[in-house]
Chain A
Amino acid sequence: EAQVTQNPRYLITVTGKKLTVTCSQNMNHEYMSWYRQDPGLGLRQIYYSMNVEVTDKGDVPEGYKVSRKEKRNFPLILESPSPNQTSLYFCASSDWTSGSNIQYFGAGTRLSVL
C-alpha cells in the first residue's frame, strides 16, 4: 500500500530537549516536505526537499532542521524545542517529476512542548 508514515503520532516533551520526527514514504517520490498546521493559519511549509541531499527552506524554517540522506526518509529535527513549536506536523511526498504535484500526506504528529 502506498503511504507516508510518520512517527511518533503523539509526543510531549520539555523545552530544550532535542527530538526527531521521522517520515518515510514507499512511493519512490523525489519530493518531500514538512508542514505545521495551526488553528486559523492552515498549513505552513517548514522545509522541503526536491531529491536526495537537496533541501530548501519553506515559510517557517526557524528552529527546525531536516536531512535527506535517502530518498524514502525525511526526518524533522528540533534541536532545542520551544513552546511555540507546539503544533500538528505533517510530512508529505509527491511525484514532482511527473508534473502531477499531488501531495500525499502522513497521518500527522501532534507535538506539545512544555
Chain B
Amino acid sequence: GDSVTQMEGPVTLSEEAFLTINCTYTATGYPSLFWYVQYPGEGLQLLLKATKADDKGSNKGFEATYRKETTSFHLEKGSVQVSDSAVYFCALSDNNDMRFGAGTRLTVKP
C-alpha cells in the first residue's frame, strides 16, 4: 500500500539556519502531497501542498517540490525562526487513502 517516510528527528537548529526535512513516498497512483505543521497543543494544519509532478508548494517561506522521478517531497526553508518550532508531517492523498509520515520535531534556538 501507499506509504510516507520522513527523516527522523528531532532536528535542532539555530535561528536563521537552513532547514531541510526529507520526505519520500510510495504510491501506486498519482497522489497529492502535503506538508502539515503541528504547533504545541494544537491540531495539524496545512502548510503547503502539491498535486502533480514538478509542482512547487510554498507558504510562510517554506517550499517543497513534487519530484516524481525520486518520489520525494522535501521541505525546505532558507532561514528558520524560533516561531517555526513545531512538528512537521509529510502526507499523501491517493483517492480515498490518506497517509502520514511519523513526523519530525523541529526546535529552533535563538
Contacts and interface: CB of A to CB of B under 8 A. Distances in A.
B98 A90 contact: no
Contacts of B100: 35, 42-44
Given A42-B100, A101-B32, A4 B43 contact: yes
A103 B101 contact: no
Nearest to B1: A59
A12 interface: no
B102 A40 contact: yes
**Majority SS of interface residues in chain B?**
strand
A106 B52 CA distance: 27
Given A42-B103, A101-B93, A102-B49, A33 B43 contact: no
Interface in B11-61: 32, 34, 36, 41-46, 49
B89 interface: yes
B102 A42 contact: yes
Contact of A107 (B43, B46, B98): B43
Contacts of A101: 32, 34, 93, 98
A22 B19 CA distance: 37
A96 B44 CA distance: 18
18 contacts: A42-B100, A42-B102, A43-B103, A45-B98, A48-B98, A90-B43, A92-B43, A101-B98, A102-B34, A102-B46, A103-B36, A103-B44, A103-B46, A103-B98, A105-B44, A105-B45, A107-B42, A108-B41
Interface of A: 4, 33, 35, 40-45, 48, 50, 56, 90, 92, 96, 101-108
What are the 5 tightest A-B residue pairs by CB atom distance, in nearest-first order? A105-B43, A42-B102, A101-B93, A43-B100, A105-B44
